[in-house]
Amino acid sequence: MLDLQFIRDHADQVKTAMINKGIGDGTLVDELISADEARRDLITRTQETQTESNAAAKAIGALMKEGKKDEAQSAIAESSRLKAALKDLEEAQKAAQEQVNALLLEIPNVPHESVPVGRTPEDNEVAFEWGAFPEFGFDAMPHWELLDDHGMADFDRGSKVSGAGFPFYTKDGARLQRALINFFLDEAVAAGYMEIQSPLVVNEDSARGTGQLPDKEDLMYEAQRDGLYLIPTAEVPVTNLHRDEIFESDALPIRYCAYTPCFRREAGSYGKDVRGLNRLHQFDKVELVHFVRPEDSYQALEDLREHAERLLQKLELPYRRLLMCTGDMGFTQSKKYDLEVWSAAQERWLEVSSISNFESFQARRMMIRYRADGERKPRIIHTLNGSGLALPRIVAALLENNQQSDGSIRIPEALQGHFGAEQIGD
């Protein structure tokens, strides 16, 4: 959520940000400013009426003491009228405040000046590429065939039990999942992150705090009876961990890592783009979350990105870094990188990590603040997060890029200790 005073002072900038993000034409900003003016007018009228009501109530006692009964009765009638008017104004003020709050939730974050303006994925900038594409002397198999050949996953039984997009991992498939989770967590802890385990469901306030509501409610699974949502990412519970808290400046930065299953009701097309592990409704991911001072947040973004990229390099996966354009970066982000790995058999890039700076946008919704040195009034903190990493497409790329002519699959050296073997298959 943006600061209301910032919106009033920079209305044109916020309108441009909305247009560049493909979220309306900016008229919502005018609607918000108009609603806020009406709210402030109601505050003034309420205060004035309260003053008049207090004066009328005080006059009643004085008139009664002086024996001026007729005038006292008039003062009583006027006091009753003012009390009724005050009640109406207070209700109108509350409704106006609710309207302003609702409109504020509809205004997206403003992109950082370094973010390219664009509307489609083609407008994203390829900022960096690493690694060489594997070369095979045979026809490379897609990961869904490799999974089947090695008995590593069961999509049919997963569909029977839960539905499409909920596979069972079996044998070396389950072993590989566990190895990757432990590898990602161990690397994060070694880099100074605090490991935590979070709830897998959150309430509405938590979903609203990180921006899933009111923007992404159609993408989340909801337990309606209990008013809870299955988490789409650990970002939601972990960032809400410090909702309504105030830190001292020397407590920052705070960095967490958390492994969770993630649940997403993503609408998918048919074909190769959603085959196998390319798009799932339940998947595993290690999430990285930062709480930092505002002046440190863009360095923290680069630190977060570098950590995720080191994981890809250790796994020997060719990847590229995208700087996302305004129209492809999301409602809540001020700046976002995507990391994509090369899928050798599918011959295309697969997204495995999104790394984002939200500046104060999330923290303002959650009222996460800190006290700067020598200051009494708390400031809003900055939050960041990134995938470190999401497993399904990592597994897909590992299998496809490391398949051998004899049908076996090589395990990258950095992962062998966690997996307990150098390869899958004979």
Q: Averaged over 388-410, what is the pLDDT?
A: 97
Q: Active site includes 39?
A: no
128 and 75 housed in the same domain: no
Residue 113 maps to a domain: no
Q: 254-287: b or e for each residue (b if 16 or more CB lie within 10 Å)?
A: bbbbbbbebbbeeeeeeeeeebbbbbbbbbbbbb
> Domain total for the chain?
2
Read off the CATH number of the domain in which 17 is found: 1.10.287.40
Q: Averaged over 110-126, what is the pLDDT?
A: 96
Per annotation, catalytic residue among 353, 354, 360, 387: 354
Q: Active site includes 279?
A: yes
Per annotation, catalytic residue among 39, 255, 264, 365: 264
92 and 137 housed in the same domain: no
Taking alpha carbons only, the member of 254, 257, 218 closest to residue 235 is 257
97 and 134 housed in the same domain: no
Per annotation, catalytic residue among 31, 98, 306, 351: 351
Indicate yes or no: pTM above 0.85.
Answer: yes
192 and 329 housed in the same domain: yes
Note down the domain range covering 35.
Answer: 4-104
Separation between Cα atoms, residue 143 and residue 342, nearest integer Å: 13
pLDDT in tens, 349-386: 999 999 999 999 999 999 999 999 888 899 999 999 99
Read off the CATH number of the domain in which 325 is found: 3.30.930.10
What DSSP line would sit under 68-79, residue for residue? Answer: -HHHHHHHHHHH
Residue 359 maps to a domain: yes
pLDDT in tens, 235-292: 999 999 999 999 999 999 999 999 999 999 975 545 556 889 999 999 999 999 999 9
350 CB burial (10 A radius; 0-12, 13-18, 19+): buried
Taking alpha carbons only, the member of 330, 342, 360 closest to residue 233 is 330
Q: Active site includes 264?
A: yes
Per annotation, catalytic residue among 198, 340, 393, 400: 393
| C-alpha gyration radius of the chain | 28
CB atoms within 10 A of CB 200: 15
Q: Averaged over 211-222, what is the pLDDT?
A: 89
Sequence-ordered list of residues with C-beta below 8 angstroms from that of 33, at least 6 positions apart, any chain = 7, 8, 11
Residue 167 maps to a domain: yes
Longest dimension (CA), the chain: 110
Per annotation, catalytic residue among 279, 305, 321, 365: 279
38 and 175 housed in the same domain: no
91 and 215 housed in the same domain: no
Given a cut of 70, is residue 174 above it in pLDDT?
Answer: yes
99 and 125 housed in the same domain: no
Q: Active site includes 351?
A: yes
